[in-house]
Amino acid sequence: MNQKMLGIIDATTYKPEIEELTFHRSLAAVPFASRYRLIDFVLSNMVNSDIESVAIFPKYQYRSLMDHLGSGKQWDLNRKKDGLFFFPSPHLHNEYDEFGSFRQFSDHIDFFLRSTQEYAVITNSYTVCNIDYKKVLAYHLENGCDITEVRKDGASLQMFIMSTKLLLNLIHNKEQTGFKTLADVVNENKNQLNICHYEFYGYAAVIDSISSYYKHSMDMLKPEIWHEIFLKSRPILTKAKDEPPTKYGKEAVVKNSLIANGCKIEGHVENSIIFRAVHIGKDTVVKNSVIMQKSQIGDGCLLDHVIADKDVKVEAETIVKGSVLLPQILRKRTIQGALMNS
C-alpha cells in the first residue's frame, strides 16, 4: 500500500494577539528559541516523518518567510520531483483567514491533482513540538479513520491526517456541503465521517499571542523541555548562518540562558534567550528577556521581562521593565533611549 504523505502547511492565519511581532513578517516566520523560526518546527516534523512534498499556503507578509526557507535546501526539499512549494493567496478575501480554508486550497487545485501521495497531513504554521506523523498515520489506518485530528490534553493542535482523495472531495464539494474549512467538517460532521482523535503526550506549544510566545520561550530554558523538543534522532532544521562563536567579555556573566552564535556579551545575562549577532554592553543586566537578531543593548542598561525584536537599539543607561503577564515589547528597528524609561 502507498503510505506516502503529502505535507500541507496553512500559513494564512493572522492573530491580532501577536501583531506586535508580525507587523513585518508572517506568524510562521516569528523567531523562536534563539536561532529558529516557528515554521522550522512544523516543517522539520514533516521532513523527519519522510514527507518529501510540502506545500505552504501563506497570505500576509510572507517575504521574510520565503527568504528564510529559500529552495528548501536545509530541509532536503530542493528536489527535481516533489520538494517545497509556495502558494500565496491570490486574494485577501476573509474566507482565507480560517485555518484549512477550502477556498484557499481550491485556488491551487492543480497541485493536489498532480500529487501522487495517498495521504495528506494538514497543519498550522505556529505549533512547536516534535511529533512523528508516521505514528499518527499508523493510528489512522489501524482505526479505520476518515480524518484523524491530533490533540493535546483534549485541545486540537490543528494537525490532521486524511486521504488525499477525501481532501479533494471536500474541496470540490465545498459549495454543496457548505463546509468552508476543515474545522467545519470535523466539528459538524454531517457526512458521518469516522473522525478520530490522536492524543499527543509530548510537549506542544501553540504560539498565537504575546503571552504564549513569552511563556513558551521561557520554557525553552528548562532542560527537560529542551531535550524533548531538540532530539538528535529528529533534529529541528533551520537556515544555516556562517557566523563566528559568541565572544564573552571579562566581566560577562551568563546564567540559565540560550546564546546563539555571533554575539558579543559584556554584561550580565540571566534566564534569557539571545539570538544571533546581539551585543550586550558592559554593566548591562538582561533578565527574563528575549533579544532577537542583531539588537544592540548599550552599556549600563537594565532589561527585565522584555521582548526586543530584530535590530532594536537600546541606548546606554536605559531601563526597560515588563512583567510575566505583560512583557515589554520593543518593536523591530526601534530605538529605546534613557528618556523613554518604562
pLDDT number for residue 177:
87
Residues 249-278: what's their mean pLDDT? Answer: 98
pLDDT number for residue 81:
87
3-state secondary structure of 309: coil
Residue 77 Cα distances to 57, 72, 130, 324, angstroms: 16, 5, 19, 39
Q: Is the pLDDT of residue 204 over 50?
A: yes
**Whole-angstrom Cα distance, residue 206 to residue 216?**
9
Q: Does residue 126 or residue 3 have the better pLDDT?
A: 126
Lowest mean pLDDT, pick from 14-18, 97-101, 276-280, 285-289: 97-101
pLDDT single digits (tens) 170-202: 999 998 888 999 999 998 876 689 999 999 999
Residues 217-245: what's their mean pLDDT? Answer: 95
Angle at the Cα of 297 (from 212 to 219), degrees rounded to 5? 25
pLDDT number for residue 342:
44
Are 219 and 237 contacting, i.e. CB atoms less than 8 angstroms apart? Answer: no
Q: Which three cell numbers stand for residue 207?
A: 504560539
pLDDT number for residue 1:
47
Q: Is the dihedral of CA 179, 182, 187, 190 positive or negative?
A: positive
Q: Which three cell numbers stand for residue 94?
A: 476573509
pLDDT number for residue 95:
58
Report which of 168, 162, 165, 166 is spatially closest to residue 196, judged by C-alpha positions: 162
Q: Does residue 215 or residue 241 have the better pLDDT?
A: 215
Angle at the Cα of 268 (from 263 to 272), degrees rounded to 5? 70
pLDDT number for residue 148:
97
Cell 522550522 sits on residue: 40
Across the chain, mean pLDDT equals 94
Q: Say which amino acid occupies 133.
A: Y
Contacts of 175 (CB under 8 A, 6+ apart): none
pLDDT single digits (tens) 61-99: 899 999 999 999 999 999 888 999 999 887 766 656 689
Are 39 and 202 contacting, i.e. CB atoms less than 8 angstroms apart? Answer: no
pLDDT single digits (tens) 38-67: 999 999 999 999 999 999 999 888 999 999
Dihedral angle over CA of 28, 32, 35, 39, nearest 10: -20
Are 161 and 121 contacting, i.e. CB atoms less than 8 angstroms apart? Answer: yes
pLDDT number for residue 247:
97
Contacts of 16 (CB under 8 A, 6+ apart): none
Residue 286 Cα distances to 166, 178, 299, 302, angstroms: 52, 52, 11, 6
In three-state form (DSSP H/G/I as H, E/B as E, the rest C), the secondary structure along 238-305 is CCCCCCCCCEECCCCEEECCEECCCCEECCEEECCEECCCCEECCCCEEECCEECCCCEECCCCEEEC
User: In degrees rounded to 5, what are phi and psi of residue 111?
Assistant: -60, -45
* Residue percentage of the chain with pLDDT more than 70: 95
Residue 39 Cα distances to 43, 46, 246, angstroms: 6, 11, 25
CATH class of domain segment(s) 5-229: alpha beta
Residues 294-321: what's their mean pLDDT? Answer: 97
**Whole-angstrom Cα distance, residue 40 to residue 125?**
9
**Whole-angstrom Cα distance, residue 167 to residue 165?**
5
Domain boundaries, the chain: 5-229, 247-340
CATH topology of domain 247-340: UDP N-Acetylglucosamine Acyltransferase; domain 1 (2.160.10)
pLDDT number for residue 339:
56
Residues 246-272: what's their mean pLDDT? Answer: 98
pLDDT number for residue 144:
97
